[in-house]
Structure 1
Amino acid sequence: MNSMKLTSLAVATALALAGCGKKDEAAPTGNASAPAAQGGAAVVKIGFAAPLTGPQAHYGEEYKNGVTLAIEDANKENPTLGGKPVKFELDAQDDQADPKTATQLAQRFVDEKMNGIIGHFNSGTAIPASKIYADAGIPQIAMATAPTFTAQGFKTTFRSMTSDTQQGSVMGKFVVEKLGAKRIVIVDDRTAYGQGLADEFEKAVKAAGGNVVKREFTNDKATDFAAILTAIKAVKPDIIYYGGADAQSAPMAKQMKRLGITVPLASGEMTKTPDFLKIAGKEADGTIASLAGLPLEQMPKGKDYATRYKARFNVDVATYSPYGYDATRVMIAAMKQADSSDPKAYLPVLAKIDYTDGVTSGHISYDDKGDLKIGGITVYKVVNGQWTVLETLGGAAK
């Protein structure tokens, strides 16, 4: 039953029992639904979208876990808005990493009057969905890292992680200046994320004096890279950079070794996962990947979060859940500061927020585009089957 029907039923019951001389109690300030039962808290609905099925489901599930934990923690604090109790409720949906599905979900979320959106996960889904949320005035904090996401000029778009502009540029400079690579091959999966990351990496390589001797592309469903890798082997690169997910980078790492390509594979944060290690096996060793932010154990509240996350979900933190957790807590903090769940009321507060209680950072705030003001990059390397910190590079997010 929808909230309008519930409200009508509650009002009708009150009038029947108490007569017309009394008014029903007002719902909390903003866009929250009326209480589902007498004396109950009004529901504040937060929509979530990510791939929950298919080859990227492990990303989406971990991301969702962080959001779930944040909402559970917020509800334990007995929140109120406009002087009335509220309950935050998650509506998690599978966008299948598909732009068409994502836009359909976005319209559904708008029609169902979500108070805010966490997601989408992929740049290729977050970007088309963002127009729908922007037209409706609903704030969206996405995991999307493609520069285009916040370059559109929408006032409703915000990031959970630093953009590919920083991550690609840091890695491009790193492989040339720190690893001494001069002959570099780039491969990407033609998604908004993979191609965008590879483009930024290429710019930085050239700026640092490196030479991109070959650039190839595949797709985010491929698993056989024999033809591409054979062509790459012939140009004798010092390093191969891949822009894309672990479903492709892991078999690519295995096939490189089988073809006798011994140079390192480098990639972005969608490769820095436990699944990459499982799929690539012993051939994972030597792979290098970047990830936004500090290592979990160095995050301001990383150790505590890791303990609570393991207790709640019986798995270790992989990559994305702390960012989903913080995004949700930041959105809720903006609602609390505005004393309203109405997007029109809390959006200006969110845009100017300085959240100091985050897991990933002691200061979470956004610039005028919705990019994080403060960020950093950590470079990891697989050593003996485990991701180990190679170097942490702090600094501004842009």
Structure 2
Amino acid sequence: MRHRSLLMLTTAVTAGALTLSACGSRDDGGDKGGGDGGKKTTVVIGLSAPLTGDLSSLGQGIKNSADLAIKTANKENEVEGVQFKLQALDDAGQAGTGQQNATKLVGAKDVYGVLGPLNSHVGEAMLKTLGSANLAQLSPANTAPQLSQGPNWSKGDKKRPFDTYFRTSTTDAVQGPFAAQYVYNELKYKKAFILDDKKTYGAGLAKTFKEEFTKLGGKVVQTDSVNPEDRDFSSIATKIKNSKADFVYFGGEHPAAAPMTDQITKAGSKIPLVGGDALFSDDYIKLSNKNSEGDIATSVGAPLETLDTAKKFMKDYKAENYDDPFGPFGGYSYDGTWAIIQAVKAVVEGNDGKLPSDLKDARKKITAALQDVSFDGITGAVAFDEFGDTTNKQLSVYQVKDGKHVPVETGTFEEK
């Protein structure tokens, strides 16, 4: 058996499964009187994600999974007297557009919660607008710690900026060190060339990886940054070849990482590129011209294929014939949407079977109820700590083998 000093391996299969369905919903009466006369209150869950552009396959997976959760809730009459609807807005992975979406959702009279976004820098741009309106925001993919723990989290000064912000994905405070432990302890890599794309997610992830890697005894032979829009990495590839590094760690997203690994290989370097969940995408492999073999990506949670709780979700998702796969964040999107639904349910049941008539009051109460939500989701136990972060700290390591991301390790990070 291999020695695992800091990786605490976990069992990937959890017992029990949510009852899911892929079928439609009842007719909506659009009345604010709850279950009176069979009419239903319309509760809209807003969504912001990149539905177009380089990251659209991930965004569409998030949207489709949220759509499936809403269809399930409506079919099963999960909240008596309530009809759920999804209002999906495209942010194209841009912070400014995300902020505009937040303003639009705040101004909509039937929006009681918001799912998304994908990108941490977009989530950061939406925080204040949604927070000031007491409108709950739950991201299935944001991993930058400062969104929930404040700008000084790395110094031990953790302060939650807005109590409206939640997430079902774990943070880079865990993901970066988890990857560092794996490459140092398991792969025995000792020399790293570290790159980032200057964005909130990429720079933060590279920073936490570097800190843990050097703490373990690894050597960083060189660091550099690229622009997220860059696709020509010939000069960087030459630097990497001359650095004699054992691997490249890239804090960034797959639209840049794919041509990067391709050009590193063509420059003559036979070393893997390692990154976070933004590299865990089929598009990464497709865009790399078959030069991503052996590359490594960490991602949140355990592989859905290994979870009994996710089997019905995957079956129902397939039955819906969505154009895009659910991707690495689909399970967290479904669970995040379900968490908002459960918060609405708690408020309705505590208010004589209907939502408070005042929109601001209803939003505030739903946010408060979301903090106490706890259930067994398709990705595992769903609950939130005092910062709104998920209590599920599982992560997985995937390696590209024969043109596919193959899970090679699942565990949790333990700092010592």
Normalized against structure 2, the TM-score is what?
0.83
Tell me the SS of whatever aligns to 2:279. Answer: coil
Which stretch of structure 1 is more off in the superposition, 127-136 or 338-347?
A: 338-347
Cα distance, 1:80–1:232 mapped onto 2, change above 3 Å: closer
Paired with 2:85 and 2:326, the residues of 1 have a C-alpha distance of 23
Please tell me whether residue 27 in structure 1 is matched to residue 47 in structure 2: no
Q: Distance in 2 between matches of 1:119 and 1:396?
A: 28
How far apart, CA to CA, are the structure 1 residues paired with 2:137 and 2:273?
A: 34
Determine helix, strand or coil for the equivalent of 1:141: strand
Query: Using the alignment, how far apart are the partners of 2:61 and 2:392 within structure 1?
Result: 24
Aligned match for 1:272, one of 267, 280, 283: 280
Distance of 2:414 and 2:270 partners within structure 1: 34
For 1:284, what is the secondary structure of its paired residue? coil
1:102 aligns with 2:103: no
| Equivalence for 1:334 | 343
Question: What is the alpha-carbon distance in structure 2 between the residues aligned to residue 292 and residue 80 of structure 1?
Answer: 29
Question: Residue deviations 1:274-324, cap 9 Å, x none?
Answer: 111211242121001101100111224222211111111355442111111
Moved more, 220-229 or 332-341: 332-341
Deviation for aligned residue 1:331:
0.9
User: SS of 1:227's equivalent?
Assistant: helix
Equivalent of residue 325 in structure 1, options 318, 321, 334: 334
Cα offsets for 1:246-273 (capped at 9, x unmatched): 1111111111110011011101111111
TM-score, with length taken from structure 1: 0.87
Q: Paired residue for 2:21?
A: none
Tell me if the contact between 1:229 and 1:256 (Cα under 8 Å) persists in the aligned partners.
yes
Change (3 A) 1:129 1:298: same
Distance 1:161 1:228 in 2: 31
Q: Which amino acid aligns with 1:54?
A: G
Match of 1:241 in 2: 249
Give the CA deviation at 1:368.
0.5
C-alpha distance in 2, partners of 1:313/1:359? 20
Unaligned runs of 5+ in 2: 1-28, 151-159, 349-353, 356-361
Determine which structure has greater relative contact order: mean sequence separation of CA pairs < 8 Å that are 6+ residues apart, divided by chain length.
Answer: 2
In structure 2, C-alpha distance between the alignment counterparts of 1:335 and 1:126, rounded to whole Å:
22
Match for residue 123 of structure 1?
Answer: 120
Post-superposition Cα deviations, 1:119-140, rounded to whole Å, max 9, x if no partner, equal 1111011012011111100111
Residue matched to 1:73: 72
Match status 1:351 vs 2:374: no
- Matched with 1:22 is none
SS of 2:320 mapped into structure 1: helix
Counterpart Cα distance in 2 of 1:158 and 1:385 = 34
- Which residue of structure 2 aligns with residue 165 of structure 1? 173
Report the Cα distance in structure 2 between the residues aligned to 1:61 and 1:256, rounded to whole angstroms: 30
Distance 1:88 1:185 in 2: 48
Give the whole-Å Cα distance in 2 for the aligned partners of 1:397 and 1:71: 38
Question: Could you tell me whether the CA contact under 8 Å between 2:250 and 2:257 is conserved in 1?
Answer: yes
Give the conservation status (yes or no) of the 8 Å contact 1:374–1:396: no
Answer yes or no: is the 8 Å Cα contact 2:394–2:411 preserved in 1: yes
Mark the runs of 5 or more structure 1 residues left unpaired by the alignment.
Answer: 1-6, 11-24, 30-34
Distance 1:374 1:39, change over 3 A: closer
CA distance in structure 2 between the partners assigned to 1:316 and 1:195 by the alignment: 28
Aligned residue runs from structure 1 range 217-232, under 5 A: 217-232=225-240
Question: What is the deviation of 1:40?
Answer: 3.6
Question: What are the superposed Cα offsets for residues 3-23 of structure 1, whole Å, 9 maximum, x if unpaired?
Answer: xxxx9xx9xxxxxxxxxxxxx
Identity of aligned residues (%): 33
Report the Cα distance in structure 2 between the residues aligned to 1:182 and 1:355, rounded to whole angstroms. Answer: 41
Q: Please give the alpha-carbon distance, in whole angstroms, between the structure 2 residues aligned to 1:300 and 1:333.
A: 22
Partner of 1:360: 379
Query: How many pairs align?
Result: 364
- C-alpha spacing 1:74/1:395, structure 2 compared with 1 (3 Å): farther
| CA shift in 2, pair 1:396/1:61, >3 Å | farther
Q: Structure 2 CA distance, aligned partners of 1:316 and 1:156?
A: 29
Bigger Rg, which one: 1
CA distance in 1, matches of 2:209, 2:189: 13
Instruction: Report the residue type matching 1:93 in the other structure.
Output: L
SS of residue paired to 2:288: helix
